[in-house]
Structure 1
């Protein structure tokens, strides 16, 4: 939502007068119901009809975070930072 607000403010600068109002969720039930209705509706388009799929108006960056396996360097870092020795006596 922060990106959409930033984009709305940027676009509002192009107008002489503009007002942005935040509507609480509790007061937005009709819009939510309409959005659910339209997103679940399947309409057969007649031949010759032009259908355009649109996407979000704000670019977003998606990151994938994978947990890494613990390696030998982690044991060294743990010892350097906290003084904790490895459990494996051979590794010590």
Structure 2
């Protein structure tokens, strides 16, 4: 019975990680949290003072996010928000915005 429980637990963990990786909308859903400040799909409202993220080079976005996360780039809120994501999630977000127009 103990081995069954162990195998069942491993299978559930594997299925959970596979389900998350297979979500075709994960990047879009993660990036949607940026809309309040940076606009829908990263298209900031002109004159708002916010950077538009749509179409920004992925490497540039990742660098900015890393700088916020490490505290190297001062911010009012981005340093806190960026710490809430894994590096893999930040990569998905940067990839999503790089593909936007």
Which bin holds the TM-score, normalised by the shorter protein? Answer: under 0.3
* Greater RCO, 1 or 2 (C-alpha within 8 Å, sep 6+): 2
Q: TM-score, normalised by structure 1?
A: 0.23
Higher helix share: 2
